[in-house]
A = this chain, B = another copy of it.
């Protein structure tokens, strides 16, 4: 009977353990772990964008992602988003350097705020930079990686 009591306690503690684990995951699965995954995603974005690689950029977004470029309607879906970034690259935006300001999480969702510096150099013209701020909603995938799900930005500097 002592053994049985022990078995009962082990079962109960086991369940408690998994509850606690589920709880900590629900609380955001550790915002610093999410932030590391998101910063890795941003690094991949910068590299793929610089190469003008539409399909590599598209693969960083969820299938039903939405992009909100300034002065444009909403762009929906991975494929259309990849094409938008390819067009942006080909128009002379050479690179996008993303800097994460903060990350918060809830379940498999994370929201990131940050700033981006674009280096712009249309053919035959001198290079310049433009600075924007952004909010991105990320979704955690089954393999633990994060994909961009909602992506919106606007200018930091007052229009002249």
Query: Which residues of A are in contact with B by a Cβ distance under 8 Å?
Result: 1, 4-5, 8, 11-12, 15-16, 18-19, 22-23, 25-28, 66, 68-74, 101, 104-111, 113, 133-135, 137, 149-150, 152-159
A156–B154 Cα gap in the complex (Å)?
12
Secondary structure dominating the interface of A: mixed
The 8 Å CB contact of A19, one of B8, B18, B109, B134, is B18
A126–B149 Cα gap in the complex (Å)?
39
**Given known A-B contacts A26-B25, A71-B158, A134 and B105 have beta carbons under 8 A apart:** no
Q: Which A-B residue pairs are the 7 nearest by beta carbons?
A: A106-B109, A106-B107, A26-B26, A8-B8, A15-B15, A107-B107, A106-B106
Q: Contact at B107–A27, with CB atoms within 8 Å? A: yes
The 8 Å CB contact of A72, one of B22, B71, B158, is B158
